[in-house]
Chains A and B, each alone.
Chain A
Amino acid sequence: MTESVDAQDSSYAAARLRLLNQEAQSGPPRRAALATLTDQWLASLATEAAEATGTGGYALLAVGGYGRGELSPRSDLDLVLLHEPDGAKSIAALADRIWYPVWDLGLALDHSVRTPAEARKTAADDLKVQLGLLDARHIAGDPALTSALRSAVLADWRNQAPKRLPALHEMCQERAERQGELSYLLEPDLKEARGGLRDATALRAVAASWLADAPREGLEEARTRLLDARDALHLVTGRATDRLALQEQDAVAAALGLLDADTLLRQVYEAARRISYASDVTWREVERVLRSRESRPRRRGLLGRAAPRAFGGGPATPTEQERVPLADGVVELEGEAVLALSARPERDPVLPLRAAAAAAEAGLPLSIHAVRKLAAAARPLPVPWPAEAREQLVTLLGAGESTVPVWEALEAEGLITRLIPDWERVRCRPQRNAVHRFTVDRHLVEAAVQAAGLTRRVGRPDLLLTAALLHDIGKGWPGDHSEAGEVIARDVAARIGFGRADVETLAVLVRHHLLLIDTATRRDLDDPETVRMVAETVRDTSTLELLAALTEADALATGPAAWSTWRASLLEDLVTRVAGALDTGALPDSGDRAPTAEEERLAIEAARTGGPVLTLHAETEAEAEGEAQDEALGVELLLAVPDKPGLVAQAAGVLALHRLTVRAADLRSFDPIGEGPVALLSWRVSAEYGALPEAARLRTDLARAFDGTLDIESRLAERESAYPRRRGITPPPPRVTIAPGTSQTATVLEVRAHDAPGLLHRIGLALAAAAVTVRSARISTLGANAVDAFYVVGKDGNPLPESRAREVAKQVEAALR
């Protein structure tokens, strides 16, 4: 008897070996064949053991991956031995006769012996057991026992789904946190990482709950690809490892018949992105379904109705009430950014970027339906891009962490490559470098995320964020990636609508993105030649500060080894020395420019009438392109008013009340007819939700604001409480600095802050409270970042003494927090 069992064992072992060494068979057929072979062996073991021990009322079940009939070469055998409650005596002997041969062959075994009731109880307590049992499959014994348990476990799962799915989601999130993302890591864990095999299994469990289902396109292929890679990894290493370490990648690629390790990784990344995208969408759907289930009974109680109102007709349904506007054509609905009912993607080429920027800024995911609709309907942007598209891209890049999921969603539907065709080269591209932890494309997005935290350090946050996105765009081309990158960056920068000077700056940033860190860590900083060489390359302080911030963002995005206080201190030393060698470069004082004829006409009229005079011009960018466009993109507003303290705050406050966002502004003051100074403000504003301002109402409100009859403060507060804005992301805190030695006639305060409705109004109030006079100002909004320079003087009309200037800067900064 023992002999025949032994013979069986060794014949199974031999058959197993033959199967695994058989090159002709691999992939799903081999996994299935291995499972079948193992089934047969275990079944005969169990049958003979049952006869020998006289055991009845038992069943042997395969669970987990083995239950699905997918055995990888080194997978554990996941087995459950099920028995009737009264058969407990002989079951231990039966188990021994099954487990020991498995152990003797050196196979890893995950085993348990339970009654059906115990199995259900354990499943109820332990999610992993539950997931395993969902895939339970009968191998030997009484099939009725197996099918009864299967039905019970599935029924339990469906009943308890509202409680257990959130727990499963949490488990997946924790695992993702711990293991990172399969789609970007250079040494990923095929099973545990986000987008890996465990996530695919979780999706099956969600589907089995009947609560929600995953978008299935490509999902099964993706899973198969990962399983194939794992099989090869098991065979190559001879171990049950799921981690695709650098040193194994070439051999695994060869075993799969792929060209090289890069091809292997690209396939793995594509598959993982498919799975993690499906996971994101599925879990959001689960949350949505659960939320609506939760709120339904409550609403029923409230309204005294049995069911929520039917679709269509009648007053607004509850879901319509929950639509919160985020931007023109974009609303928040049930925790996602979706397209507004009025949005017309086919007529609004900026909509994809606007929707993405609004979602990222609000810290929300972009709904899969919105992305698909945009991918299907949106027309390509004209080249070069209109200003709004560029600004929305910068806003999207500047949103920090919440940029990533939105970017991924656009990427999954092919929108990124449509916007920036050069992205295709870096997509899913692995890097052979021990310092890097991400693929090139994810590294670039991560660099933008890091740069978003450094925007207060630079005068041009838009250039910093764009440079972060493009700095490694040359990877994948022959030769030095910085040199190739410069060429591509020029192209992309011009395409997305930057002016010539900005394109030059971006080219320098991309070309020299490694200059500072290489020099700081490898050259003698005491050598004046080192400093001179860097100074000659960067040319001016604003490029130097951009390059320094880009260096830090790049290093932070690379991996833990690329940035340290050690490196930071060397870099800082170099930057300080180079800054000392560069001209500080004077900001042109806008007050020096002569007024145009129109400005002069308005100023004279204002001086004569003593009240505000204004003109409005709608911007006609799109018309010039010959495109049909209903709404104007922006409005030029020219305003002249007798100068007095607090004017900036009042004018900006009225604009905020009219829901106009200040994109740029220029303030000057001069005396046109010798009857006192007139302030001349030229604004470029855009409407928050697309509607144009009415000149007459604007004029009335401005006049009331200036004579003090309009209470801007309380009106703004009222609106704020009526339409509470989403909390969204936490941007870096505002920063107010004194620009060194830029003007002889005034102190230049530079305010850098996250743009928000009424920001300029609050800055104006703070400046007025600090008792300084604004002589001129240049306001710019770059994406979601405001960079404003105020030329201020004290009561005596002179620049502020240094200590006083610092005090004012601190005061304004505090007022903006």
Chain B
Amino acid sequence: MKIITAVVKPHRLDEIKEALQAFGVHGLTVTEASGYGRQRGHTEVYRGAEYTVDLVPKIRIEVLTEDADADELIEVIVKAARTGKIGDGKVWSLPVDTAVRVRTGERGPDAL
């Protein structure tokens, strides 16, 4: 199993949810997050002085998946999240030891 984490622009959430649903993913976790990447926030000019907004609002999406689906899922998310502009975000995956469905106690891939 893998966990895929995506940190992306907030307004892409609806598209990503639709794309994931079309792919057959039925569960995900969404968190409001802020941060910056290589673009180091964005720079704005206010009353002649340049200042940097260093923490940009993002959303963080987490999806648990089976190993075999991970690469394709990442592609699906990336495609849905892309606007082509700076600050589109990042997607990564990590291996997961175990997962348990709380209600039934099912473990492993059955719990997904």
Contacts and interface: CB of A to CB of B under 8 A. Distances in A.
Given A564-B32, A566-B32, A569-B57, A521 B85 contact: no
Interface of B is mostly: mixed
Contacts of B57: 566, 569-570, 573
Interface stretch (A139-147, A184-192, A522-530, A539-547): A522-530
Interface stretch (B9-17, B62-70, B72-80, B100-108): B9-17
A573 B42 CA distance: 12
B5 to A, nearest CB: 17
A567 interface: yes
B43 interface: no
Contact of A522 (B13, B32, B83, B85): B13
A551 to B, nearest CB: 16
Given A566-B57, A570-B57, A522 B11 contact: yes
Interface string A521-561: 11111100000000000000000000000000000000000
Contacts of A567: 32
Interface string B1-22: 0000000011101100000000
Nearest to A571: B57
Interface in B71-112: 83, 85
Nearest to B56: A569
Contacts of B14: 522
Given A566-B57, A569-B57, A570-B57, A522 B10 contact: yes
Determine the interface band of chain B, counting residues with CB < 8 A from chain A: 10 to 19
B25 interface: no
A524 B32 contact: no
Interface residues of A, number: 13
Given A566-B57, A569-B57, A521 B34 contact: no
B80 to A, nearest CB: 13
Contacts of B10: 521-522, 570
B33 A524 contact: no
Nearest to A802: B47
A523 B12 CA distance: 8
Given A569-B57, A570-B57, A524 B9 contact: yes
Contacts of B13: 522
Interface string A566-590: 1101100100000000000000000
Contacts of A523: 11
A473 B11 CA distance: 29
A687 B102 CA distance: 68
A526 B57 CA distance: 13
Interface string B22-39: 000000000011100000
B11 A525 contact: yes
A521 B33 contact: no
Nearest to B55: A569
A233 to B, nearest CB: 22
The winner among A525, A526, A564 for most chain B CB atoms within 10 A is A526
Contacts of A565: 34
A525 B10 CA distance: 10
List the 9 shortest-distance A-B pairs measured between CB atoms, nearest first. Answer: A566-B32, A524-B11, A570-B57, A523-B11, A566-B57, A569-B57, A522-B11, A521-B10, A566-B34
15 contacts: A521-B11, A522-B10, A522-B11, A523-B11, A524-B9, A525-B11, A526-B83, A564-B32, A565-B34, A566-B32, A566-B34, A567-B32, A569-B34, A570-B10, A573-B57
Interface of B: 9-11, 13-14, 32-34, 55, 57, 83, 85
Given A523-B11, A566-B34, A569-B34, 19 more contacts: A521-B11, A522-B10, A522-B13, A522-B14, A524-B9, A524-B11, A524-B83, A525-B11, A526-B83, A526-B85, A565-B34, A566-B32, A566-B33, A566-B57, A567-B32, A569-B55, A570-B10, A570-B57, A573-B57
